[in-house]
Amino acid sequence: MAKKTVLITGCSTGIGRLAAKTFHERGWNVVATMRSPEKETELAGLDDVLVTRLDVTDRDSIQQAVDAGLERFGALDVVVNNAARGGHALLEQSSDEMTRAMYETNVFGTMNVCRAVLPHMRSRGEGCIVNVTSMAGWLGLPLETSYCGTKHAVEGMTEALYLELKPLGIRAVTVAPGAYLRTEFTANANDGDFEVGGEDLATYAKRLRDHFRTSVANEGGEEADPQEVADKIFECATTETPVHNPVGSDAQLIVAMMAAPPRDEFLAKVEPLLLPSA
């Protein structure tokens, strides 16, 4: 049987890199994409791994990466939309530039990659799209107003896409990680707007941040192994799963809390995890 092929965005670090290595180790061809492939050495040295440029905000680069993958391997069986931007700030502090950049990458970039690969998958009558979101796409988090908006959008978009594509033999699912503090994504998130709005607002924002980090640490976020996310991505790509797939101990805690309607009761339960006491 011919080897299957996956295209993954955002492979330069973190979960994207782990996912690329996971698929490769399990016998897949991998199109590992990133904005600066000339800097990549580890993945480029692996057999049946094509490292190529893809910037999800640049439609030409998306199409070129898809074409390169098809030319090298002949088909794309799975596409993993992992590339994303993060940033922490109160909405009042959030710059228009940062917010628009998040939406361009996290929402419109994901949509553009899907548009580029769907004609190929539709012509074959099969394929799978895995969109990596976040528990911030299930739950509104203080200091994450812009990021939560993007991830809620991708969760909703993927659910609609699932229904659109199911009759065509194509699957669309999400993987929603909790907080994995050992990834570069968390380390690289933009906190630059924290100083906007004066000392009182900055102090309040930092208080919220410190409380949330403590809550995440208490739920195992500092020790959580991001390989769990890569494994979940592979599982979703290769087996029948629900549309929405949370991963991580804190994500499972949130899902368990959500089980009891109505939503206001759920918000009351989760509030102590997110907001410090007065």
| Angle formed by the axes of helices 96-103 and 145-165, nearest 10° | 20
Nearest-angstrom CA–CA distance, 143 and 183: 19
Nearest-angstrom CA–CA distance, 78 and 171: 9
* H-helix segments, 41-190: 59-73, 96-103, 110-124, 145-165, 184-188
End-to-end Cα separation, the chain, in angstroms: 62
Nearest-angstrom CA–CA distance, 37 and 27: 22
Q: Enumerate the active-site residues.
A: 147
- Cα three-residue angle 9-189-244, rounded to 5 degrees: 55
DSSP-derived secondary structure for 252-277: HHHHHHHTSSSHHHHHHHHHHHHS--
Which helix (H) or strand (E) covers residue 249, if one does? helix 249-258
